[in-house]
Structure 1
Amino acid sequence: MRTLATLALALSLVAAPALAADKPDTVRITYVSAPFNVPSIVMREKGYLDEAFAAHGIKVESPEITSGAQQTQAIAAGEIDIASVLGGTSAILARANGVDLKVISAYARSPKAYFLMTRADGPAAIADLKGKKIAGPKGTVLNQLLLAALASQGLTLDDVEYINMDLPTARAALLAGQVDVATLAGNNAVMVEQAGGKVLTGGEGFIKPTNVIAARAKFLEEHPDLVEAYFAAHRKALGFIAEHPQEALEIAAKEQKISVEEAARQMPLYDFAPAMTDADIANLGADQTFMVESGMMPKDNVIDIKADLVAPSAFTIK
């Protein structure tokens, strides 16, 4: 017995350095503030993320990658560990194309926060979009809104000139008269309205977007404690928003470069509850069906949303 105990102790001492070596020195988590990602904005301003990982002796890098496609490409390349705000459509497309990622929670639900915007003298109705120049980020919820709006009038992307641009560039192009319509959200939509532009249509009735938080599947498997560290910071940010709503609005308004009053108008458009629900799964399933029907995704690539994409822990996260 004594020999076995000595052997077990020796093995544990040998194994300990190897386990420690597995712990990364740095965790890479994207920072996405737009369209109106208040939890992320508060988390950064208050230093909650750095604080949570400092307890593990780990530094955090927060690259600002706003494109869903670029975030999933970075996950595929092992360049980021957690995509903090990812459109559901981007997560589905990535997983369908073999990217080994898992949705670890919801981020926000906000159909009322997405818009097709135009200038005061722009198209008056969706039916008027045929032949028009439309700018916005491809492979996103806004891309899906455009497709759904066009489909409601028997139109497709082939009937318009669709130009891939990020949100600030699309807004600038619209206000400069270089395009007829821009797909916008958050402060970019507010700025167009302040400049005299108008909403052609919103997302309600066309889309039921669920933005999510996703992680490299291997990172989730090997470092569940670090994923939990991320959620400790996320929960702390949600708690701050609930306990100090005015200060949270001021922080968000400053980051978004809008007034506190405009921030207050934006806030009710978002549901930031993190636990995934059956309704979220149904919405993501509907998103996938729409992408197949609209030609954004081959039918052969269809995945089982709940089994293939979403981690079981996403339904119990708090």
Structure 2
Amino acid sequence: MNFSRGMAFFHTPSRLGARLSLSFAALLAVTAAAWTPLGAQAAAPAELKLDYAYYSPESLVIKRNGWLEQEVAADHTQVKWVLSLGSNRALEYLNSGAIDIGSTAGLAAVLGRANGNPIRTVYIYSRPEWTALVVRKDSSLKTLADLKGKKIAATKGTDPFLFTLRALHTAGLSRDDVELVNLQHPDGRTALANGQVDAWAGLDPHMAAAQIEDGARLLYRNVDFNTYGFLNAREDFIHEHPETLAHVLKVYERARVWIAEHPDETAKIVAEESKLPLAVAKLQLSRNDFSHPQPGPQQIEALKAAAPILLQEQLVKPGTDLNQVIDALVDVKFAQPVIASADGKQATQKE
């Protein structure tokens, strides 16, 4: 799918948003009331800590344009940006409190919550095909079955790692049939290019760069095994600063709409931030669908279909009720008023 075609799938303003009469400020108050004790006033934090990631185009657009700093300026909140190189890093930062809000893949977020990470998913930043199993252009490997006994670079605790396990299972293999080498995504690409591993569980934009710059080949693709891009917030932050969370979601929604209207500028930002060629950024963006920002049944269903791999591969405690974990993780209510307000504004502007 080319970049322009990918953008064609972008969601047009919903009728629901156009019909809503509540202002964004009123909706913000409703959201805050859900988490603020009766009679209490939620104070804005002195510092807001969140991540940016090369696999999350919205985060790069927001950071580049300074939109979040503008949004929280009246609250005298300082914004601290932290780079996440993968879901595993974002989850570590969330668990330790180094960040309040972080970007991960969906199944990685389930793994984190199942193992005690106190997070909830509050927004969907994209539906990507951002991972596949990659081999060198001169590799003799042709099928998943050929991976038996081979070395595969994969970042533990990330979507590419879990994608690899699911892919192996389709060929009747498990992680005991291969040697998984735990490397961060960019290091995995380097290891593949240098012949230190036979395959790599790639992640965009590094995967797109390997294709364009190294001639790497995608051995196995399955868009259904790519889980959604989740924006997660720590539960204590949600409870203590619901209005600040709403401000973050507002700028994420602004960025999502802006990306559809400015595909070339978006590609330039992604390329400059990741220090990769423009063609790489365009290939990455062509594999992203930004049309479903609202967390809900679609993501819950996809995660429940994917979750058994976590038990099968003993990545969570035996007996863990993963359906319960997923239901607790995906929180639908925070994004609803923000998306509805943005849709309403777009509908009004078009009338």
Give the TM-score range, shorter chain: 0.7 to 0.9
Give 2:53's aligned residue: 32
Pair 190,77 (structure 1): closer, same or farther in 2 beyond 3 Å: closer
Give 1:72's aligned residue: 91
Cα deviation code 1:208-257 (max 9, x no counterpart): 41121111111111111100111122122123212222222222222233
Q: 4+ residue runs of structure 1 moved beyond 6 angstroms?
A: none
Query: 3-state DSSP class of the match of 1:297?
Result: coil
Cα pair 2:87 2:159 within 8 Å, conserved: no
What amino acid is aligned across from residue 145 of structure 2 in structure 1?
A
Give 1:7's aligned residue: none
Give 2:248's aligned residue: 230
Question: Structure 2: any 5+ residue segments left out of the alignment?
Answer: 1-39, 340-351
Q: Distance in 1 between matches of 2:282 and 2:53?
A: 19
Q: Distance in 1 between matches of 2:145 and 2:320?
A: 32
Give 1:157's aligned residue: 175
Pair 131,106 (structure 1): closer, same or farther in 2 beyond 3 Å: same
Q: Distance in 2 between matches of 1:252 and 1:54?
A: 25
- Of 194-203 and 210-219, deviating more is 194-203
Give 1:95's aligned residue: 113
Query: 3-state DSSP class of the match of 2:134?
Result: strand
Cα pair 2:104 2:230 within 8 Å, conserved: yes
RMSD: 2.1
Pair 243,277 (structure 1): closer, same or farther in 2 beyond 3 Å: same
Q: Distance in 2 between matches of 1:261 and 1:197?
A: 15
Sequence identity (%): 29
Cα pair 1:285 1:305 within 8 Å, conserved: no
How many residues are treated as equivalent by the alignment?
A: 295
Instruction: Give 1:305 shift.
Output: 4.5
Q: How does 1:243-254 map to 2 (within 5 A)?
A: 243-254=261-272
Instruction: Give 1:312 shift.
Output: 3.5
Higher RCO (CA-CA < 8 Å; seq separation 6+): 2
Instruction: Give 1:89 shift.
Output: 1.9
Task: Choose which of 89, 97, 100 in structure 2 pairs with 1:81.
Answer: 100
Q: Distance in 2 between matches of 1:41 and 1:213?
A: 14
What amino acid is aligned across from residue 114 of structure 1 in structure 2?
T
Normalization by structure 1: what TM-score?
A: 0.86
Q: Distance in 2 between matches of 1:151 and 1:162?
A: 14
Task: Choose which of 286, 292, 313 in structure 2 pairs with 1:268.
Answer: 286
Give 1:51's aligned residue: 70
Cα deviation code 1:187-218 (max 9, x no counterpart): 2112222212211111335x141121111111
Query: 3-state DSSP class of the match of 2:201?
Result: strand
Give 2:138's aligned residue: 121
Give 2:124's aligned residue: 106
Which structure: larger Rg?
A: 1
Cα pair 2:123 2:249 within 8 Å, conserved: no
Query: 3-state DSSP class of the match of 1:253?
Result: helix
Q: Distance in 1 between matches of 2:177 and 2:326?
A: 35
Q: Distance in 2 between matches of 1:142 and 1:98?
A: 21
Normalization by structure 2: what TM-score?
A: 0.78
For the pair 1:204 / 2:223, whether they are aligned, the reply is: yes
Query: 3-state DSSP class of the match of 2:72?
Result: helix
What amino acid is aligned across from residue 26 of structure 1 in structure 2?
E
Task: Choose which of 158, 178, 184 in structure 2 pairs with 1:166.
Answer: 184
Query: 3-state DSSP class of the match of 2:205?
Result: helix
Cα deviation code 1:47-70 (max 9, x no counterpart): 112211222110011111233233
Cα pair 1:134 1:182 within 8 Å, conserved: yes
Instruction: Give 1:76 shift.
Output: 2.6
